[in-house]
Amino acid sequence: MFRTVVFTTALALRAGDSLVADLYARATGSDADFKVITGLIVDVRQNLVEPHDSDFGFENSLVVDTERITVGGYGAFLEDYEVKHTTLRRA
């Protein structure tokens, strides 16, 4: 589940760790094929760990510095991209 990715990333960023994400993603609302996007995670928008920093109660997304995009889980509609699979690694 993407919420687990957001939770793990929020804790890592707060601990001062840098993470890179390999995202199997496509543009939100698109029927295009999924493709791998890789980038440094620069922020997280979430409501899972205090303090919350999302604009909506159900917003759980990553901000990835490829073109400064937002990504959400499969079926996302607030973010730029929806993600089917994510791999995190230390930068």
pLDDT in tens, the chain (91 residues): 889 999 999 999 999 999 999 999 999 999 999 999 999 999 999 988 888 887 777 788 999 998 889 999 999 999 999 999 999 999 8
Q: What CATH number does the domain containing 43 carry?
A: 2.30.30.690
Straight-line distance from the first to the last Cα atom of the chain, in angstroms, rounded to the nearest whole number: 22
Assigned token pair, 8? 């793990």
Cross-strand partners of 83: 25, 73
Amino acid identity of residue 82, one-letter, is E
CA distance linking residue 71 with residue 78, whole number of Å: 9
Specify the number of domains making up the chain.
1
Question: What pLDDT is recorded for position 41?
Answer: 96
Question: What pLDDT is recorded for position 51?
Answer: 84
Tokens 């499969």 correspond to what residue? 74
- Structural domain boundaries enclosing 15: 2-90
Question: What pLDDT is recorded for position 65?
Answer: 92
Angle at 31 between CA 25 and CA 37, to 5 degrees: 15
Question: What pLDDT is recorded for position 67?
Answer: 80
Question: What pLDDT is recorded for position 89?
Answer: 95
